[in-house]
Amino acid sequence: MIIDIHGHYTTAPPALAAWRQQQTASLEDPSVPAPHPADLRISDDDLRKSITANQLRQMDERGIDLTVFSPRASFMAHHIGSFETSAQWAAICNELCYRVSTLFPDRFATAAMLPQSPGADPATSVPELVRCVEEYGAVAVNLNPDPSGGLWNAPPLTDRSWYPIYEKLTEYDVPAMIHVSTSVNPAFHTTGSHYLNADTTAVMQLIQGDLFADFPTLRFVIPHGGGAAPYHWGRLRGLAMAMGKPPLEEHLLSNVFFDTCVYHQPGIDLLLEVIPTKNILFASEMIGAVRDIDPCTGFHFDDTLRYLAAAGLTIEELDDIQEHNARAVYPRLDARLGSRGGERSSTHA
C-alpha cells in the first residue's frame, strides 16, 4: 500500500475562493456584508468533479492508494483578520476536506488546519482540533509556527504557550505537520523560500529546546524534505553539541519525521542518505507548489514515487517509507486502515 501523507485541497470549487474574497473584503470595507458559512453552497457533485479530474486521477496514474488531505496551505492565511476570522474560515475548509474523505473513504483521510491568528493564544485553536478529531476523524493537523505570514513574531515551538495544543495532540495520539501559509513579507516567496525557511527554522527551534522531554510521545512531521535541515545536518549536529544537547538521533528523531516533497533525484538521494529510513514518510504534495513537467525527465516534478523507485532502496525500505512509517506516525490512520494493505500498488519502473 502507498500512503501519501501530504496532500492539500488545492482544487476546491471556485465558490470557496469567492466566499473567502467576500470575507476579506468585509474586513477591509465595513459596507461590504460579511458572508455567512451557510452562504457557501458546494454540492457533493462539485466536490467529486474537483477531485476525480485532479488528485484522484493523478493518484491512480502514479499508484498512490491513499492521501492524507488537508486544506490548501497557502489559503490558510492566518494573518488575515482576527481569530474569529480564522475560526470561521478553518471550520469551512476542514468541513470540505472531511466531505471529500466521506465521498472517497478509501482514498482520502482528513487532516485539519487550525484557526490560528497573530497574537492569539494557541489554546484558542484547541476546540477546532477537538472537533475535527472527534467529529471528522482527523488523523493529523497542520500547525503554523508563524501565523503572521513571514514576519515571525510568534514564540518558538518550544514555548509553553503552545503546550495546550501539544497536550491535546498527545491525548489523541495525533501528529502535527509543521506548515506555514502565505507570506506577506515581500522578501520571502511563499512556496520558494517561506515554506522552506519555516521547515528549517522549526528544526532549529526544536534543537534549541527540550520539548520532547515534556512530551515524549508528541510527533511532528517537517514537510518539503525538512527544508535545509538534511543538507546541513552536520551544521545542526555541531550546533547541538555546542549547546550541550544530546546527539540529534536522541534529541529529535524519536519525535521528528521528514516527508519526501523534494522534487529532484539528488535531493531525495541526500535525504535518504542523511535521515534514517524510519524517519522518512512518502509524500508528494501533488498539484501544489510545483505543477509542471520537468523537461529533464519528462515527468511531473512532484511525482516523487519515481525518485524513491530510482534510489536503490530495498523492498523493505520502500515499504517502510511508503506505508509502514505513516502507520506508525499516524496511529489513527493505521486504526482506520486496519489490515488493508499488504499488497503494494505498482510503483514506477
Which of 213, 101, 126 is CA-nearest to residue 176?
126
Which of 119, 113, 181 is CA-nearest to residue 150?
181
Residue with cell 535521515: 275
The 176-178 sheet, strands edge to edge: 3-9, 66-71, 108-113, 140-143, 176-178, 220-222, 256-259, 280-281
Please tell me what DSSP assigns to residue 178.
Answer: E
Cα distances (Å, whole numbers) of residue 276 to 3, 56, 259, 325: 19, 30, 12, 11
| 90 within 8 A of 115, measured Cβ to Cβ | yes
Catalytic residues: 285
| 260 within 8 A of 226, measured Cβ to Cβ | no
- For helices 44-52 and 83-103, give the axis angle rounded to 10 degrees: 80
- For helices 233-242 and 195-208, give the axis angle rounded to 10 degrees: 30
CA 189 to CA 193: how far, in whole Å? 5
